[in-house]
Amino acid sequence: MAQEKYGVLMVNLGTPDAPTPQAVKRYLAEFLSDRRVVDTSRLLWWPILNGIILPIRSPRVAKLYQSVWMEEGSPLMVYSRRQHKALAARLPNAPVELAMSYGSPSLEQGIDKLLAQRVTKLVVLPLYPQYSCSTSAAVFDAVARILQRYRRLPSLSFIRDYAEHPAYIAALKQSVERSFALHGVPDKLVLSFHGIPKRYANLGDDYPQRCEDTARALFAALQLPADKVMMTFQSRFGREPWLTPYTDETLKGLPAQGVKHIQLICPGFASDCLETLEEIKEQNREFFMHAGGEKFEYIPALNDDPAHIDLLQQLVTQHF
């Protein structure tokens, strides 16, 4: 019997190649054209996207990227590459490729590289701890489309999510406790997850439940009183209702309730990015402090922390 050859495809969302309006426009055009992300009728959506959103948002978003851009590039790409390098070092006998759902390196490039090495079992790891139709399912769709070009297919293992994985919860717990030791125990620990339209959840997306599963497991591990913790949803877009409570509105109201010191973590982000470093660490910090808050700390994403790499290694080797 021929020996199996495993390959791993790590997938994150993606990022512009540069903090410029042109690069941001290219990235947003690809991202917001995916039906898994925006399911509005194309007849209605294309004029709005190309005539209003891209021309107006691209320069604005480019300025936000400029405020968080690192010497090595976009934060999401920098940390994703570090994760890739660290995981590859742990798996010397299995090729590991990094790909992005939107932008580069593309999913197609990653799969082509792995299959060129005669991989017989492909493990796809979307770096989304909580499943959503707009993230994990979008990766599944794209992988399926790309594999249609091939006559010879590998066996496929798709890691749906890891919202309650013990190593994931342990890594989050370690990160929170490290922050508490450094800054003191806050009045409240806030878990902010990326939002999705409520309509997606009503149609069957179990993302809200998976976020609650993570929050419940982490709160239990930390053994904090119920009044010391809460979860919210950030990054809403457009006019329709999204999952609540909204992070920004919540932070504006906490100081009036006597909550003067908060620490906030974004467990749904495997890597720090625009949504954590600019939206949370800068913008939402300002909301809280302006409303009368006294102390705000952002707890970084797991990024390339060794405990995170331990988790990623466990996730993929369970399929070997």
Domains 6-162+307-317 and 166-299 share a fold: yes
Q: Three-state SS for 184? A: coil
Q: Could you state, in order of their start, the residue ranges of all structural domains in the chain?
A: 6-162+307-317, 166-299
Say how far apart CA 317 and CA 199 lie, in whole Å. 36
Task: Return the HEC string of 99-157.
Answer: EEEECCCEHHHHHHHHHHCCCCEEEEEECCCCCCCCCHHHHHHHHHHHHCCCCCCCEEE
Q: Name the maximum alpha-carbon separation found in the chain.
A: 68
- 110 CB-near residues (< 8 Å, 6+ apart): 9, 11, 97, 98, 99
Q: The domain 6-162+307-317: what is its CATH number?
A: 3.40.50.1400
- 86 CB-near residues (< 8 Å, 6+ apart): 304, 306, 309
Say how far apart CA 209 and CA 319 lie, in whole Å. 25
Along the 320 residues of the chain, how does pLDDT read in single tens digits? 568 899 999 999 999 999 999 999 999 999 999 999 999 999 999 999 999 999 999 999 999 999 999 999 999 999 999 999 999 999 999 999 999 999 999 999 999 999 999 999 999 999 999 999 999 999 999 999 999 999 999 999 999 999 999 999 999 999 999 999 999 999 999 999 999 999 999 999 999 999 999 999 999 999 999 999 999 999 999 889 999 999 999 999 999 999 999 999 999 999 999 999 999 999 999 999 999 999 999 999 999 999 999 999 999 999 99
Structural fold of domain 166-299: Rossmann fold (3.40.50)
- 196 CB-near residues (< 8 Å, 6+ apart): 132, 134, 205, 207, 242, 243
Please state whether the predicted TM-score (pTM) of the whole model is above 0.85: yes
Q: Which position has the token pair 């920098």?
A: 78
Beta-sheet pairing, 229-234 with 295-299: unpaired
Beta-sheet pairing, 295-299 with 121-126: unpaired
- Are the C-beta atoms of 264 and 192 separated by less than 8 Å? yes
- Six-digit token pair at 190? 């806030």
pLDDT score recorded for residue 238: 87
- Six-digit token pair at 56? 């107006």
Say how far apart CA 190 and CA 264 lie, in whole Å. 5
Say how far apart CA 33 and CA 31 lie, in whole Å. 5
φ and ψ of 108, to 5 deg: -60, -45
Quote the DSSP letter at residue 122.
Answer: E
